[in-house]
């Protein structure tokens, strides 16, 4: 059996899933603190289900969103600093106050991975004591061209850790976007969340060990998958906004639709997402209007409109997630899953381990392209196994190649998603079409 948790404030809400069957309806514990609520919730589940529970996944997205961001030093590596105020990188209002200091370092690479300028490590090392002397323990490093070469980001990170191993460092090449400001924003926000991620991971680890010593603990990600708690300490960004992905996955799980359309109806309106090979269809960026985007693979959930095309050949589920069903759904929608306000918790319980490979490759032709794509698929498979998935229970969900408009000839972007389950957990929640691969 698998448990899905959602943490918020000083509350913990839980659901227990056995296959596709909800064996324990959602129950919520409100306590004096979040650790107390979590411990009380898990304690109750242990008394009721004992060792039958093998997987516990927590959606911590709301806690990450509600906590004050930690202060961050932003290090930007490029050949030259902006010449005027208009050309400065502008951060979204959410994170702008968290950046207490910005440091420019000369360096950066082109799309072929060749240096545009020699990394000015000497100048940075001269500044480093001043950076470390402050109270800020979080650093974000973003370099021009780090999608092609991580060298300058990692050398700056190494220089910092060489002076102080306790600094929390987030480098932008851990997040794929071809836009500098997206990676910069993502690295800064990730860095600002790492302290909270560490606290949450420690809290979940401690409570889990006490109540379910043999259970696997994970956190829910915004792509509809999960990852071990250790990842929450280094990449908490992927735990932000997991709710939409879990809603899609939960409704699809309850309806038994691994490939199809999922319409979620809440008090705020109706939205539509899709599932493919048992997981929500995801995009590599969370777009925020004209502001910088978050470079995190996240489920696509878009507003349902009156112009929404109706397809009879695609399986569809309309889930009513509202707390109260006194009024009809908008657009004349008729729910096929009525009154399932905790569908997202079901999704959290059902989420598989997921891993992404997203990188640039240089190819000479179609045969070479096939070779690097196969290699990326193997790497994605390995990455899922490293997260704890059983080699025999891991499959490729998505494998795509993107041409780079106005790029260097022969350079393509390869993006692959793999998903799997731990060897201990052979329950496949959405087994059908799991081996489907898109190109």
Partner 1 sequence: MSSVLTPEDIRNLRTGAHFLTCTIDPTAIYIYAEMIQRAMEDRSVELITVDELAPDDLVVAVGMVTQGLFIADMPPVGDEFLGCIRALEASLGRSVRAVYSLAAANINGIVPLMVGLQSSLPVIDSDPMGRVFPLISQTTLNIGNVPIGPIALMGVTGERAVVEVESPQRAETLVRALVTELGGWAATAMYPCSAQQLKEHGVHGTISRMIRIGQILDADTAVEKKLLMLNEFLGTTRIARARVSHIESLSRPTDLGLPAQPSSVTLDDETTGRIIRLEIQNEILLVLVDGAVTAAVPDMVTLLNSEQGTVVNTDDVQLGDVVDIVKITAAAQWYTESGLDLTEPKAFGIPIVHPRRRHA
**Minimal CA–CA distance to 394: which of 376, 380, 406, 407?**
380
Beta bridge partners of residue 337, listed in sequence order:
319
Q: What is the dihedral of CA 147, 150, 151, 155, to 10 degrees?
A: 140
By C-beta, is 84 or 135 nearer to partner 1? 84
* Residue 419 CB, nearest approach to partner 1 (Å): 18
* Residue 343 CB, nearest approach to partner 1 (Å): 22
C-alpha dist (Å) from residue 22 to 2, 31, 260, 265, 301 = 10, 25, 21, 20, 24
Asked whether the CA dihedral 380, 383, 387, 388 is positive or negative, the reply is positive
By C-beta, is 149 or 211 nearer to partner 1? 149
* Residue 83 CB, nearest approach to partner 1 (Å): 4
Binding site for partner 1 (CB under 8 A): 78-87, 89-90, 108, 110-112, 116-117, 144-145, 147-148, 178-182, 274, 276, 281, 283, 290, 293, 300, 302, 305, 307-309, 311, 314, 363, 365-366, 369, 400-410, 412, 438-439
* Residue 128 CB, nearest approach to partner 1 (Å): 24
Tokens of 252: 């699809």
Q: Residues 207, 41: contact at Cβ < 8 Å? A: no
Q: What's 241's DSSP letter?
A: T
* Residue 384 CB, nearest approach to partner 1 (Å): 22
Q: Residues 353, 421: contact at Cβ < 8 Å? A: yes
* Residue 177 CB, nearest approach to partner 1 (Å): 8
By C-beta, is 202 or 300 nearer to partner 1? 300
By C-beta, is 166 or 313 nearer to partner 1? 313
Distance CA 249, CA 264 (A): 11
By C-beta, is 43 or 154 nearer to partner 1? 154
By C-beta, is 180 or 212 nearer to partner 1? 180
By C-beta, is 124 or 304 nearer to partner 1? 304
* Residue 114 CB, nearest approach to partner 1 (Å): 9
Residues 6 or more apart whose Cβ sits within 8 Å of residue 336: 255, 316, 317, 318, 319
Other beta carbons within 10 angstroms of residue 60's beta carbon come to 27
By C-beta, is 209 or 283 nearer to partner 1? 283
Q: Residues 420, 395: contact at Cβ < 8 Å? A: yes
* Residue 312 CB, nearest approach to partner 1 (Å): 10
C-alpha dist (Å) from residue 341 to 264, 265, 323, 328, 337 = 10, 10, 6, 15, 10
């Amino acid at each position: 059996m698998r448990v899905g948790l959602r943490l918020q404030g000083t509350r913990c809400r839980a659901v227990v899933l056995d296959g596709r069957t909800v064996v324990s309806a959602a129950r919520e514990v409100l306590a004096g603190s979040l650790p107390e609520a979590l411990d009380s919730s898990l304690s109750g589940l242990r008394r009721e289900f004992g060792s039958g529970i093998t997987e516990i996944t927590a959606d911590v997205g709301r806690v990450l969103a509600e906590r004050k961001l930690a202060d961050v030093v932003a290090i930007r590596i490029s050949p030259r600093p902006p010449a005027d105020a208009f050309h400065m990188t502008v951060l979204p209002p959410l994170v702008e106050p968290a950046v207490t200091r910005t440091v420019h370092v000369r360096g950066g690479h082109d799309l072929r991975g060749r240096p545009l300028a020699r990394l000015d490590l000497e100048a940075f090392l001269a500044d480093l004591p001043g950076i470390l002397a402050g109270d800020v323990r979080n650093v974000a490093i973003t370099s021009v061209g780090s999608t092609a070469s991580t060298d300058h980001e990692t050398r700056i990170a190494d220089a910092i850790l060489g002076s102080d191993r306790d600094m929390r460092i987030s480098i932008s090449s851990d997040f794929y976007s071809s836009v500098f400001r997206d990676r910069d924003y993502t690295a800064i926000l990730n860095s600002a969340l790492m302290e909270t991620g560490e606290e949450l991971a420690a809290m979940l680890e401690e409570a889990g060990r006490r109540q379910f010593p043999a259970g696997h603990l994970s956190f829910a990600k915004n792509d509809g998958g999960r990852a071990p708690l250790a990842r929450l300490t280094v990449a908490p960004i992927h735990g932000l906004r997991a709710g939409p992905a879990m809603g899609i996955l939960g409704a699809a799980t309850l309806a038994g639709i691994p490939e199809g359309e999922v319409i979620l109806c809440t008090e705020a309106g109706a939205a539509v997402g899709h599932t493919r090979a048992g997981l929500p269809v995801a995009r590599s960026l969370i777009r925020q209007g004209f502001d910088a985007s978050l470079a995190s693979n996240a489920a696509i959930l878009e507003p349902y409109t009156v112009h929404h095309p109706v397809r009879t050949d695609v399986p569809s589920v309309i889930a009513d997630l509202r707390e109260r069903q006194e009024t009809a759904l908008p657009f004349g929608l008729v729910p096929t899953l009525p009154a399932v306000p905790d569908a997202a918790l079901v999704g959290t319980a059902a989420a598989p381990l997921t891993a992404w490979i997203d990188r640039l490759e240089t190819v000479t032709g179609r045969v070479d392209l096939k070779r690097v794509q196969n290699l990326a698929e193997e790497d994605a498979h390995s990455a899922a196994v490293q997260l704890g998935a059983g080699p025999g229970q891991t499959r490729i969900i998505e494998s795509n190649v993107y041409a780079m408009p106005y790029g260097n000839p022969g350079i393509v972007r390869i993006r692959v998603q793999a998903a799997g389950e731990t060897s201990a957990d052979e329950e496949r929640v959405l087994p059908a079409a799991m081996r489907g691969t898109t190109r």
